[in-house]
Amino acid sequence: MRLSPEARALVSPADVFRGLAGGRGGGAWLLARRPLALLLAMGSTVSILAGGRLTARLVVDGAISFAFIPIFEIAALAVVLRRIPRRVPLAQAVDVVFTANGPWILWMLAASTIASIAGPEELPRWTSRPRLYFVAAATAIAIAWFVRLELSAFRWALERTRREAISDVALHRALAWPAAAVYFFAFALWPMIVGMLRR
Amino acid sequence: MTPARSVAAGVFVASLVAGTAADRAPARAPIEIGGYRVLAVDLHTHSSMWSDGALTPWGLVLEAERQGLDAIAITGHNDLFDGRVGHAFARAASRVIVLPGEEILSDPDYHLIAVGVRELVGFRQPAADAIDAIHRQGGVAIAAHPIREFWHGYDAAALQRLDGAEICHPLIFGREGAQQELEAFAARAPLAAIGSSDAHGVGPMGLCRTYVFAGEASERGIIDALRAKRTVVFGGGGAVYGDPALVRLAAGDARLRDNPAVKRKAGVLDVFSRLGGIIGLAGLLLF
């Protein structure tokens, strides 16, 4: 039984991303398919966490709510691609780099599983200590794993040297993550920062 | 598409259909007790626009219907925009009453819910001044999750002006001692008892809710009842808070005691939609 590129990349990223190297042209479907899959996973997670069931209404609403993540990721990737001398179509780069999102999808599956098992009064325990430490550790693992995979994507699929790949990923993250955080926390961000500094 | 991926997609779609079929608002007749119209309200919710919530403002309104709520306040962090969007949507397409509001974050001093305001209230001012600004707009001021770390923001002047304080908040289910801290804060002044879910998308909206004893089912009716402290809240461990006379009337009433966000029995379709959805999604990742 053949596993998907996302699943295989989780364990042997270099092999998978070497196989994804080379031109596969552009096209709207190539540009959209993996970001849409990510949105489907995010919408499903929101549905199970907020509503306790998988419904079209909540999946779509959750996907709309978190659409800013792939949008910022793609916009940041477009900036990074300008540094690459040989022309790589954006659609191809998006398809390759979004293959590295397996750790986040696993994280969402774990969150959905916990929400499915826990009752409504049990779920808030995961937002307070000590269980919050477990969530933070799982998130840290997902971040490290994802960055490792994204490095492989740039290194092997987009054919960058090791140093260039590190620089590309650093720039991609430096653009996409802060932009997403500013959008998500918006007006709360400044009081939160002030509060953390004053505590 | 490989056969395994087709099966995974089929399981996911079947789960989505099952969950959507089960996604109906509970049938509820209007509740009248002691000559008042009793409304289930959640006065502290956050949307994804832009208040680190997981649902859109219109999504919050639709979810409130499903959780058996009569009214919600959409309380953006230092922001009124999502409340206005939700308010406009509800007027056009829902029976749920939406009260525009904001959660004034003045970290690390206080978090204050302003309900029924139309203009932003500045967060760089003492709590008492912020409460005065809320009152000048005809709104009510509620201390948000006043656990011990937020107490110092509420001096005597602020406590004298406050209309209410959250005494039931999801923190009571997750944080050691939170219930006692909320009760201790509420004991410092005559405040309306408030139950709010602080909904960000983790856990159901209305997990903690306030029963407002209103003269009429309207924004004005809710604001007036909050100001008059005509509220009852069912907290953790069977505790009931609020106006003592109303507590006596409400405590034994199963329509109020049984919170649909907690007590709703998961049907076969619910369970299938959750588990099938996770299995289907895992299959789509794997294959």
> Are the C-beta atoms of residues B60 and B53 closer than 8 Å to each other?
yes
Q: Does B269 touch chain A (CB under 8 A)?
A: yes
Please tell me the predicted confidence (pLDDT) of residue A119: 85
Report the pLDDT value the prediction gives residue B94, as an integer from 0 to 100.
Answer: 96
A163 touches chain B (CB under 8 A): no
Instruction: Return the percentage of chain A with pLDDT > 70, whole number.
Output: 98
Q: Kindly tell me if the per-residue pLDDT of A199 is higher than 90.
A: no
Check CB contact under 8 Å for B2 and A196. no
A24 pLDDT exceeds 70? Answer: no
A83 min Cα distance to partner chain B (Å): 31
Name the residue of chain A whose CA is nearest to B278's CA. A109
Instruction: Answer yes or no: do B19 and A2 touch at CB < 8 A.
Output: no
Residues in B closer than 8 angstroms to A51, CB to CB, are 23, 63, 66, 204
Q: What is the pLDDT of residues A155-164, one digit of tens each?
A: 999 999 999 9
Residues of A in contact with B173 (CB under 8 A): 121-122, 124-125
Confirm or reject contact between B83 and chain A (CB < 8 A): no
Per residue in B118-161, pLDDT tens?
999 999 999 999 999 999 999 999 999 999 999 999 999 999 99
Flag whether the ipTM exceeds 0.90. yes
> B207, A109: Cβ pair inside 8 Å?
no
Low-confidence spans in chain B with pLDDT less than 50? none
* Residue A100: per-residue pLDDT: 98
pLDDT digits (tens, 9 = 90+) for A148-193: 999 999 999 999 999 999 999 999 999 999 999 999 998 888 888 8
Helix/strand/coil (H, E, C) string of chain B? Answer: CCHHHHHHHHHHHHHHHHHHHHCCCCCCCCEEECCEEEEEEEEEECCCCCCCCCCCHHHHHHHHHHCCCCEEEEEEECCCHHHHHHHHHHHHHCCCEEEEEEEEEECCCEEEEEECCCCCCCCCCCHHHHHHHHHHCCCEEEECCCCHHHHHHCCHHHHHHCCEEEEECCHHHHCCCHHHHHHHHHCCCCCEEEECCCECCCCCCCCCCEEEEECCCCHHHHHHHHHCCCEEEECHHHCEEECHHHHHHHCCCHHHHCCHHHHCCCCHHHHHHHHHHHHHHHHHHHC
Quick: pLDDT tens for A105-150: 999 999 999 999 988 889 989 988 899 999 999 999 999 999 999 9
Contacts of A104 in chain B (CB under 8 A): none
Q: At residue A22, does pLDDT exceed 90?
A: no
Per-window interface: A 48-67 vs B, CB < 8 A? 48-59, 61-62, 64-66
CB contact under 8 A, B19 and A49: no
Cβ neighbours of B126 (radius 10 Å)? 16
Q: Give the predicted TM-score (pTM) of the model.
A: 0.96
B120 — contact with chain A (CB < 8 Å)? no
- Touching check for A175 and chain B: CB below 8 Å? no
The token pair at B21 is 């079929």
Q: Which residue of A has its CA nearest to B107?
A: A195
Residues in A 92-151 with any Cβ partner in B closer than 8 A: 102, 105-106, 108-109, 112-113, 115-116, 119-129, 131
Q: Is B255 on the interface with A (CB under 8 A)?
A: no
Task: Output the average pLDDT for chain A.
Answer: 94
Long-range contacts of A115-118 (CB under 8 A, 24+ apart): A115/A48, A115/A49, A115/A52, A115/B202, A116/A48, A116/B274, A116/B275, A116/B278
